[in-house]
Amino acid sequence: MQLSKIGEFGLIEKLLKKCKNAPPEILTGIGDDAAAIKQGNKKILITTDMLLEGIHFDLSFTTFFQLGYKFLAVNISDIFAMGGNPKYFFISIGVPKNYKSEDIGELYSGILKIAGKFGVAIAGGDTCESRQGLILSGTLIGNTDKIITRAGARAGDGIFVTGTLGDSSMGLMLLKKQASEARSQEFKDKTRNLKFKTLNPKNVLPLIKKHLMPEPIPLENTSKITSMIDISDGLLIDLSHICDKSMVGAVICKDKIPVSKELAYTAKVLGTDPVDFALKGGEDYVLLFTAPQDMKTTAFKIGEIVKSGRFIIDEKGRKTKFKPEGYEHFKNSNS
Ligand code: ADP
Ligand code: MG
């Protein structure tokens, strides 16, 4: 079976079937943001994420420092998505031999900057030569008293997000436009009708920063949360993961989806819909969770969990089905 047909999630589903029969101390295994393993009366969380040059980052528009910061940020985000505290980070790197040790030093300065903010210690790793660009693979260990999975959403729960959406994917589009990569035909086709003219840097820079150095934020109080995921692939995909694992449906309202003023401005100048970026753009690294509707929270309520079906209601009250559109490896090209 061609990977481009089944996509990343189809492949993971097949692998999950092959790796069944997990021992009982694995409380949450393949299929969530991190694995949860019971050790005595403690619950350990483990997550692993890769960043590949040419797929996840482009060194023509990210510095090594920014890359290091983002590398640990995306792993921290997965621990937060399980309701946990990040603790110990293992860093495996594949580096082309013409790269400089000073650059890898900068990468580590970025990692250490965010590690210091969140109390994460670097505990090991592996170093190899790469013939295919820079490869980063990080494994972050954390812990928690209460595991929050993707599987606990119930009909009647509210659907909440902890921050604005779409900034990162707009930031990436602006970076690509500036970079030589923007000359690729697919990127040109996709952005043909957009009016990149007098964008004000004051509005553009925060979007770019959100893409290059995302800032994960934990939920203070998780006692009433029924399910949670971090938005890495896009709201529609990540909400679909909650629906799949919880065996429920969802209705979201387009006009409730929080969009930053910088994204609203930029989308207006370009002549495009900011909510499209918010729904399908990935790498926001904010938390998407479900909880009783009346829960007191500063998060934005964007909809409701229902028994079945996946719907979006637009500004005019029209209800249409949504599909899990966003970023999926093997299915999307990186133009
Ligand atoms: P996230 O986007 O939160 O990092 P992923 O979509 O990468 O999550 O992974 C979803 C789940 O699938 C996780 O439990 C992850 O550990 C598991 N997974 C992904 N790839 C593999 C693989 N090659 N083998 C086993 N498990 C995998
Ligand atoms: Mg995740």
Tell whether the model's pLDDT for residue 155 goes beyond 50. yes
Nearest alpha carbon to residue 150 among 305, 292, 32, 10: 32
Say yes or no: CB of residue 49 within 6 Å of ligand 1.
yes
- Non-local (6+) Cβ contacts of 175 within 8 A are 58, 61, 208, 211, 212
Cβ atoms of 180 and 303 within 8 Å: the answer is no
Q: pLDDT tens, 158-174?
A: 999 999 999 999 999 99
Say yes or no: CB of residue 262 within 6 Å of ligand 1.
no
Of residues 51 and 176, the one with the higher pLDDT is 51
pLDDT of the residue at 104: 98
Q: What is the mean pLDDT of residues 127-149?
A: 97
pLDDT of the residue at 178: 79
DSSP β-ladder status, 300-306 and 35-39: unpaired
Say yes or no: CB of residue 283 within 6 Å of ligand 1.
no
Around 55, how many Cα atoms within 13 Å sit in the side-chain half-sphere? 14
Tell whether the model's pLDDT for residue 2 goes beyond 80. yes
pLDDT of the residue at 99: 97
In this structure, the residue with its CA closest to atom 21 of ligand 1 is 12
Q: For tokens 């505990």, name the residue.
A: 123
Q: Which of 3, 11, 27, 30 to mutate to test the pocket of ligand 1 (most atoms within 8 A of CB)?
A: 30
Q: What is the mean pLDDT of the chain?
A: 93
Nearest alpha carbon to residue 162 among 215, 207, 111: 215
Say yes or no: CB of residue 26 within 6 Å of ligand 1.
no
| Distance from residue 334's CA to the centre of ligand 1 (Å) | 20
Question: What proportion of the chain, given as a percentage, has pLDDT over 90?
Answer: 84
Query: What is the rounded distance in angstroms from the CA atom of residue 224 to the CA atom of residue 241?
Result: 20
Tell whether the model's pLDDT for residue 334 goes beyond 60. no
Q: pLDDT tens, 294-303?
A: 999 999 999 9
Tell whether the model's pLDDT for residue 325 goes beyond 90. no
Query: What is the rounded distance in angstroms from the CA atom of residue 73 to the CA atom of residue 65?
Result: 12
Cβ atoms of 76 and 174 within 8 Å: the answer is no
Which helix or strand (DSSP H or E) is residue 187 part of?
helix 185-191
Query: What is the rounded distance in angstroms from the CA atom of residue 279 to the CA atom of residue 320?
Result: 14
pLDDT of the residue at 335: 41
Tell me the range of 19-23, 257-261, 326-330 where mean pLDDT is highest. Answer: 257-261
Q: pLDDT tens, 99-115?
A: 999 999 999 999 999 99
Q: Which of 6, 8, 12, 137 to mutate to test the pocket of ligand 1 (most atoms within 8 A of CB)?
A: 12
Say yes or no: CB of residue 30 within 6 Å of ligand 1.
yes
Tell me which residues have their CB within 5 A of the ion that is ligand 2. 33, 78, 230, 232
Ligand 1 atom at minimum distance from 78 CA: 3
| Distance from residue 174's CA to the centre of ligand 1 (Å) | 29
Tell whether the model's pLDDT for residue 192 goes beyond 80. no
In this structure, the residue with its CA closest to atom 19 of ligand 1 is 12
Nearest alpha carbon to residue 141 among 42, 226, 70: 42
Nearest alpha carbon to residue 191 among 259, 260, 270: 270
Ligand 1 atom at minimum distance from 19 CA: 25
Tell whether the model's pLDDT for residue 264 goes beyond 70. yes
Q: pLDDT tens, 27-76?
A: 999 999 999 999 998 999 999 999 999 999 999 989 999 999 999 999 99
Question: What proportion of the chain, given as a percentage, has pLDDT over 70?
Answer: 97
Query: What is the rounded distance in angstroms from the CA atom of residue 308 to the CA atom of residue 13?
Result: 21
In this structure, the residue with its CA closest to atom 3 of ligand 1 is 33
Q: pLDDT tens, 13-39?
A: 999 999 988 899 999 999 999 999 999
Tell whether the model's pLDDT for residue 246 goes beyond 90. yes
Say yes or no: CB of residue 15 within 6 Å of ligand 1.
yes
DSSP β-ladder status, 135-144 and 249-253: unpaired
* Per-residue confidence band for 183, with pLDDT thresholds at 50, 70 and 90: low
Q: At 315, list the tokens.
A: 């500004």
pLDDT of the residue at 196: 73
Q: For tokens 């972050």, name the residue.
A: 140
Ligand 1 atom at minimum distance from 230 CA: 3
pLDDT of the residue at 193: 74
Tell whether the model's pLDDT for residue 187 goes beyond 80. no
Query: What is the rounded distance in angstroms from the CA atom of residue 149 to the CA atom of residue 273?
Result: 32
Ligand 1 atom at minimum distance from 35 CA: 14
Tell whether the model's pLDDT for residue 185 goes beyond 80. no
- Could you say which ligand is closest to the alpha carbon of residue 29? 1
Q: What is the mean pLDDT of residues 296-318?
A: 96
> In whole angstroms, what separates CA 53 from the centre of its chain?
17
